[in-house]
Structure 1
Amino acid sequence: MKIWKHTRRDAAMLALSLAQTATTFALAATWDGASWPWRLGGACLLVLMMTYNIIVISHLFTHVPWFESRRLNGLASMLNSLNIGQSVQRYQLFHVRNHHRYNNDRKGPDGKTKDLTSTFLDGEGGEHDGLFHYAFVGAVSTLGTTARALLSATRLWRVGEHEQELIDLAAKDPARREQELHQVRMDRLAHFVGVCIFLALSWRWTLFCYLPAFYLALALVNVQNYFEHFGAAPESRYTDSVSYYGRLYNLLAFNDGYHQEHHLRPQTHWSRMPEVRREHAARLEGAERIISPVPALLGFLHRDRPLLHRRPVVTAPAEEPSDTFSATG
């Protein structure tokens, strides 16, 4: 029986996920008797693990699930929903069906962006939103959404009627739609049970370490997304994102740096991103686009980044369709 949908190399991400879960519980269990240097180190490790999981592990999973079995993929989604503090299935619906459909678009005539996470959403005068507002105020909003999901125990963690954006992103096919919304519910349940265990192990750790670490991880993820698109021109599929080709980073982060290529072929397995770059080499090399000298999380160090979004908009030629998931599939 075939277990892995694409390659056994995805087992590395499963191992990292399990290691994160075990480490998180260990940090909670040892907090009360630990020294302050140990506590500080543990808090930093927690931020690092959650940030890495959201940016790399869960992100790649939302595009290309690891297993042939839908049940195993559901369990993996629950595992990492605990690890990242939010439903992986909900993440998939917003990220794949919204962000990768509209690709960090500018505001339209109605003054809104279609991409709900666009860096232009709260910007003025055709500019990106400010980094602080996008990263840290945006993290507060995500924190509130997560808190409401945890407290949805009164409806047994079902997706509520008020969650219209989430409902609209679910598949139109009734059977698939039911599966997706059920997975959101199971993810929320897994996170709720995990938080209850955290509180039982150490309520002090949960309040004074886990909660701040979760917030900082959310903010860092927003910094990552910000610099994956800052300065890029969203009018072309070949210039709407920023790539970083450092070998060590892409080895450790499963080719996360190939972000322009990822937007061109979002459902292509991470191991094939260099192939996507070669496949589209002529168009990519012929386009005026941004290649960063640093990973997106350190994008603020790219001081001389060209601001292509400020240049006159030229209507792009017809381009190949992406392989983004359709909500009707």
Structure 2
Amino acid sequence: MNKKTDFVYSQESEPHRIRTKKILKQFPQLRQLIGKNPNTIFAIIGLVGFQIVMAWFLRDQPWWAILAGAYLLGAFADHALFVMIHECTHQLLFKNRNANRWASMFANLPQILPSAISFEKYHIKHHAFQGVHELDADLPNHWEAKLINNSFLGKAVWLLFFPVFQVFRLSRLREIHPIDGWIVTNFAIQVAFTTAIWYFMGWPAVIYLLLSFSFSVGLHPLGARWIQEHYLTHSAEQETYSYYGKLNKVAFNVGFHNEHHDFPSIPWNKLPQIRKTAPEYYDTLHYHMSWTKLFFRFLFDREISLFNRILRRERGKVALTDVSKPDAEISFAPPVGKKESVVVVTE
């Protein structure tokens, strides 16, 4: 076994814009899937309500019931809410950008930590500059990968404190301004909500919500999603992986990650149609069928470490302000003799 001491560096540009162009040229009908899904707000309302009811129910229960409730139910609700925040980040609910931001902050409420707006700031850069270390917050720090190494204990600690490690990454992303009015608003709303939960339900309710959030992104099979999306888990240097397992039903199809990177302007409910329409582009890629299996493989397989990521030093000609909507921006000239016009969706 060769212990990795650095990331894998690529001279190639990120694969998604190229594939998007190829797929749209062959299957132009996929443009019809681009749009908004305002009904997603009802899922957000239901999930937020579920977490508040659970917090109320567990407010006077023993510690083991709070722990079990957070692991078995709360984690799935919070993970789904994270997917909802992700949808809002890509403005896939409403046409108005600010309406999406308010929806994302509402979805953020049970998660206690104010992360909805900061996620928007950094996630779009992850799409536009995938693999560029100074702009892609999804990539671990060098010291982070070295510290965690490839041991079971190191990787378990990394998953347990995953949000903490993400915070430490922000200092290297110097071109992205971390604070603005929306960030402050997000913070103030979270403080008010958490204070209300504590005042009316007590600390056990707050602890339930904190544990739910921690499990939803960390030491839980759901945490394997962070490994599934971009970690090199096969011999081929494939940069992005999808997950096609059963948990997509409670995770709003977030596992369709190659599809999402290729078509970030298509909402969650239509992502499976991309693979169904263009199977030759997705079934030929490596993909995962079990987050649980990947969770344990990541922990115990010493061949997998945080260095199993592709980095690129060349950011290309993409502008820092790029909103990463290649599927909506790419257009093709109509065949000679045709008078059809191609509408390029912009916002």
Aligned to 2:256: 258
Deviations 1:26-62 (A, max 9, x none): 33334444466754554332222112221x2212221
Alignment partner of 1:18 is 2:45: yes
Which AA in structure 2 matches 1:168? E
Contact 1:102/1:115 (8 A) holds in 2: yes
Deviation string 1:238-291 (CA, Å, 9 cap, x unpaired) is x31111234x444443322211222223333334434544676555566xx421
Q: Distance in 1 between matches of 2:104 and 2:235?
A: 31
Structure 1 pair 293–70 and aligned structure 2 pair: CA distance change class (3 A): closer
8 A Cα contact 2:134 2:172, kept in partner: no
Q: Is the 8 A contact 2:92 2:265 kept in 1?
A: no
CA contact 2:74–2:212 (8 Å) conserved in 1: yes
The Cα shift of 1:194 comes to: 0.6
Q: 1:200 to 1:167 in 2, by over 3 A?
A: farther
Q: 2: distance between equivalents of 1:257 and 1:281?
A: 16
Distance 1:168 1:113 in 2: 8
Quote the Cα distance in structure 2 between the aligned partners of 1:265 and 1:6: 11
In structure 1, C-alpha distance between the alignment counterparts of 2:295 and 2:115, rounded to whole Å: 29
CA distance in 2, matches of 1:131, 1:104: 21
Residues 326 and 291 of structure 1: is their aligned pair in 2 closer, same or farther, counting only changes over 3 Å? closer
Partner of 2:156: 132
Question: Per-residue deviation at 1:90?
Answer: 0.9
8 Å CA contact 1:63–1:266 kept in 2: the answer is yes
Whole-angstrom CA distance in 1 between matches of 2:209 and 2:277: 43
1:225 aligns to 2:249 (yes or no): no
CA distance in 2, matches of 1:212, 1:253: 18
* Structure 2 counterparts to residues 277-288 of structure 1, below 5 A: 277=275, 282=280, 284=282
- Identify the residue that residue 211 of structure 1 maps to in structure 2: 210
Deviations 1:187-241 (A, max 9, x none): 22211111010110233214542333332233146532122222258997xx311
- Higher RCO (CA 8 Å, separation ≥ 6 residues): 2
Residue 103 of structure 2 is matched in structure 1 by: 76
CA distance in 1, matches of 2:324, 2:174: 14
- Distance in 2 (CA, whole Å) between partners of 1:254 and 1:32 is 29
Q: Match of 2:103, as an amino acid?
A: A
| Length-normalised TM-score, structure 1 | 0.64
Mapped pair 1:300 → 2:295: yes
Verify the 8 A CA contact 1:131 1:223 in the aligned structure 2: no
Q: 1:188 to 1:273 in 2, by over 3 A?
A: same
Q: Does the Cα contact within 8 Å between 1:232 and 1:290 map onto a contact in 2?
A: no
Work out whether residues 47 and 214 of structure 1, in 8 Å CA contact, stay in contact via their aligned partners in 2.
Answer: yes
Q: Please tell me whether residue 185 in structure 1 is matched to residue 184 in structure 2.
A: yes
Offset of residue 100 of structure 1: 1.9
- Summarize deviations over 1:165-197 as a string: whole Å, max 9, x none: 678335xxxxxx9xx932222222211111010
Tell me whether 205-214 or 88-97 shows the greater mean CA deviation. 205-214
Aligned-partner Cα distance in 1 for 2:190–2:266: 29
8 Å Cα contact 1:245/1:257 also seen in 2: yes
With over 3 angstroms needed to count, the CA separation of the structure-2 counterparts of 1:293 and 1:23, relative to structure 1, is closer
Structure 2: any 5+ residue segments left out of the alignment?
Answer: 1-33, 326-346
Matched with 1:273 is: 271
**13-22 vs 128-137, greater mean Cα deviation:** 128-137
Cα distance in 2 for partners of 1:169, 1:234 equals 34
1:49 aligns with 2:77: yes
CA contact 1:233–1:240 (8 Å) conserved in 2: no
The answer to whether the Cα contact below 8 Å between 1:241 and 1:260 also exists between their aligned partners in 2 is yes
Residue of structure 2 in register with 1:290 after alignment = 286
Calculate the TM-score normalised by the size of structure 2: 0.61
Instruction: Please give the alpha-carbon distance, in whole angstroms, between the structure 2 residues aligned to 1:32 and 1:250.
Output: 30
CA–CA separation in structure 1 for the residues paired with 2:208 and 2:198: 12
SS in 1 for 2:264: coil
Partners of 1:71 and 1:120 lie apart in 2 by 32
Measured at CA, do residues 243 and 64 of structure 1 come closer, stay the same or move farther in structure 2, by a change above 3 Å? Answer: same
Identical columns (%): 18
Q: Is the 8 A contact 1:265 1:324 kept in 2?
A: no
2:92 counterpart of 1:96: no
- 2:172, 2:281 → 1: CA distance? 35
Q: Could you tell me whether the CA contact under 8 Å between 1:262 and 1:273 is conserved in 2?
A: yes
Post-superposition offset of 1:70: 3.7
